[in-house]
């Protein structure tokens, strides 16, 4: 399904032009218009999924294979030193465009990209119980 009000549906399906790095029948990979670093790209499914919670297993499985192909080629071409692969879900997590996408962010020695947090300490008093409860939900 496409969403006629969604800009990434339009870009992914070629109705709005983009700088396309890769395309197949399910995905388009484009350059981000506000790049964190040179080569910052977005993996866009051609079907509309708001974010990971509604993403189909078929698209989920293929998305990482495409990310792998693209970062490999980009590393050779751009001679970057590493990659961050990032995917935001919901506003609190930084999602601003509500069509599933994966960020591919090339990293260069000495760059100014910041994707950091302050590590805290795992709460060991609840960790085992919480892990078990989540595990049970996965099996449902
Ligand atoms: P997020 O904050 O994870 O939802 O990421 C949205 C990303 O889409 C941002 O990095 C924007 O710079 C990028 N973006 C928004 N509109 C466009 C567009 N028309 N073409 C390419 N990238 C876009
Ligand atoms: Zn969409």
pTM greater than 0.85: yes
Across the strands, what pairs with 107?
Answer: 82
Residues with CB under 5 A from ligand 2 (ion): 3, 6, 8-9, 48, 99
Judge residue 59's burial from the number of C-beta atoms within 10 Å of its C-beta, 0-12 exposed, 13-18 middle, 19 or more buried.
middle
Ligand 1 touching residue 127 (CB < 6 A): no
At 140 the pLDDT is 87
| Mean pLDDT of all residues in 77-83 | 98
Phi, psi dihedrals of residue 32, rounded to the nearest 5°: -70, 135
Residue 2 reports pLDDT greater than 90: no
Question: Mean pLDDT across the chain, nearest whole number?
Answer: 97
Residue 1 reports pLDDT greater than 90: no
Give the residue numbers annotated as catalytic, written as ranges: 101
On whether the CB atoms of residues 42 and 103 are closer than 8 A, the answer is: yes
Task: Identify the band that residue 19 occupies on the pLDDT scale cut at 50, 70 and 90.
Answer: very high
Ligand 1 touching residue 97 (CB < 6 A): yes
């Amino acid at each position: 399904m496409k969403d006629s009000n969604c800009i990434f549906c339009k870009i992914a399906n070629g109705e709005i032009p983009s700088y396309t790095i890769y395309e197949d029948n399910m995905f388009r990979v484009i350059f981000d218009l506000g790049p964190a670093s040179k080569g910052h790209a977005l993996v866009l499914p051609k079907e509309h999924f708001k974010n990971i919670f509604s993403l189909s297993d078929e698209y989920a499985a293929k998305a990482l294979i495409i990310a792998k192909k693209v970062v490999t080629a980009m590393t050779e071409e751009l001679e970057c030193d590493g990659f961050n692969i990032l995917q935001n879900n919901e506003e609190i997590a930084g999602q601003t465009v509500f069509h599933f996408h994966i960020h591919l962010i090339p990293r260069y020695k000495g760059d100014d990209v910041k994707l950091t947090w302050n590590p805290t300490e795992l709460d060991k008093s609840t960790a085992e119980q919480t892990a078990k409860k989540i595990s049970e939900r996965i099996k449902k």
